Structure 1
Amino acid sequence: MSEVPPTRWALAGSESHGYGPRFADLVARGEDVDGEARLADALVPRGARILDAGAGMGRVTDALRARGHDVTGIEPDAALVEQAERTYPGIGLLPLDILETTPDVLRAHGRPTAYELVVAVGNVFILLAEGTERRALSALRDLLAPGGRMLIGFHLTAGPAGSRAYAPGEFRDDVEACGLRVDLLAGSYELHPANAEYAVWLLSVAGSPHDVDFEGGA
């Protein structure tokens, strides 16, 4: 397996330490933290297999399980894995980086090896290790079931500490280079129009049997 370099999140050090406690406090106060999960839930049938990649402190994993899905959460930050267990006892996030998550690794953990939906929200892609964006996209693509899709979201401006700027055009180029296509670009998880602040992407494998030529028919 190729080396897994430290992510931008890990390199940010103490600047990133407030994330887990902050969201745990929001959960404890009953605040709404399910925006991403509501959209993800609408994209799949009940009981779908979903991979929550970069699960953080587990809020999306928990929300999707509560909606009846078979969710596998992966998170490489040990502190966030521990925070997830305190906030959602028994959630069982796997301590894995996207780059080391393969069908064989998931099988060894007793988890599904293919998913109807892969979710990587909460700025995961602007906090990856430098230069690994295409590796991450390819790794997640290889975990999609036939007809499966990816839901990815990140800030275009004012991202968290240590994050990169990832222009929509550059992200689209990386997506297409990895054999994927953009099915939707929106500006929020409530599907507001695309804007300059936040990007929500729905991706699928290019050349799938569901492709339609809207000018010439199917």
Structure 2
Amino acid sequence: MAEPPPPATRWALAGPARGGYADNFARLVASGADVDGEARLADALLPRGARVLDVGSGMGRVAAALLARGHDVLAVEPDADLVAQSRRTYPAVEVVHADVLELSLDEVGTFDLVVCVGNVLVFLADGTERRVLAHLRSMLAPGGRVLAGFHLRGGPAAARHYPPDELVADAEAAGLRVDLRAGSYELHPANDEYAVWLLSPAD
């Protein structure tokens, strides 16, 4: 029996309210602004030529920066408009138009790092956090890790509030442990505004 399609995400349910994301980052990229903070940290966590999965890759800026640093990157994005923007802006990035829960391990293989940044976890479908985290864990190669980040407060209006203790509980239920919590992609101390997490398999 085929798996049912993934439920609608908070991102999809936000409707027109989500349009500002694409426009904002398009302006930043066109202006030459530094939009590589997440990619710099991800690169520092990896050996050369590592395999990376960028979940909720948006317009492709993180995937493109990691590709430029010599990594083998696969991007996955469920929003058709963002997939089109990514393909226009960064044509070298391989981007799959799908929900991450639709990715098959048999089809895409395993990864040294799964990048799940830019508020992706707080835009998931309601109640799917543990399912998504377990799915990400299943796609990790030996020694692989998950890099995630989201606003704790002051984030997009359509996003959920995801308290740190709930993320820790969900990660542990999914077979992951928290190796690091920081307050930015430059590894500032943990704070109440933004959380950056490094997760790895618990066993």
TM-score by length of 1: 0.90
**Matched residue, 2:152:** 156
Equivalent in the alignment of 1:55:
57
For structure 1, the residue ranges without an aligned partner over 5 or more in a row are: 107-112, 208-218
- Give the ranges of 4+ consecutive aligned residues of structure 1 lying more than 2 Å apart after TM superposition: 89-92
- Partners of 1:184 and 1:79 lie apart in 2 by 33
Counterpart in the other structure of 2:185 = 189
Question: Which of 15, 34, 37 is equivalent to 1:35?
Answer: 37
Any conservation in 1 of the 2:67–2:93 contact (CA below 8 Å)?
no
Structure 2 match to 1:129: 125
Aligned counterpart, 1:86: 88
Q: Which moved more, 1:49-58 or 1:82-91?
A: 82-91
Question: Number of paired residues?
Answer: 201
CA distance in 2, matches of 1:153, 1:178: 17
Question: Conserved in 1, the CA contact under 8 Å of 2:58 and 2:77?
Answer: yes
- Does residue 10 in structure 1 map to residue 12 in structure 2? yes
CA distance in 2, matches of 1:149, 1:89: 27
| Structure 1 residue 169 corresponds to structure 2 residue 165 | yes
User: Identity of counterpart residues, as a percentage?
Assistant: 63
Q: Which sections of structure 2, spanning at least 5 residues, go unmatched? A: none
Distance 1:63 1:92 in 2: 13
**Is the contact made by 1:102 and 1:139 (CA closer than 8 Å) also made in structure 2?**
no
CA distance in 2, matches of 1:97, 1:43: 25
1:201 is matched by which residue type in structure 2?
A: W
Which amino acid letter does the alignment assign opposite residue 94 of structure 1? V
> Displacement, 1:21?
1.9
1:66 aligned residue (43, 65, 68) = 68
TM-score (norm 2): 0.97
Counterpart CA distance in 2 for 1:78 and 1:188 is: 29
Residues 103-141 of structure 1, C-alpha deviation per residue, up to 9 Å, x if partnerless? 1342xxxxxx00000000000000000000001001100
The structure whose Rg is larger is: 1
Please state whether the residue corresponding to 2:93 is helix, strand or coil. Answer: coil
2:41 matches 1:45 = no
- SS at 1:160 equivalent: coil
CA contact (8 A) 1:21 1:83 kept: no
Checking the alignment, whether the CA contact within 8 Å between 2:73 and 2:93 is kept in structure 1 is no
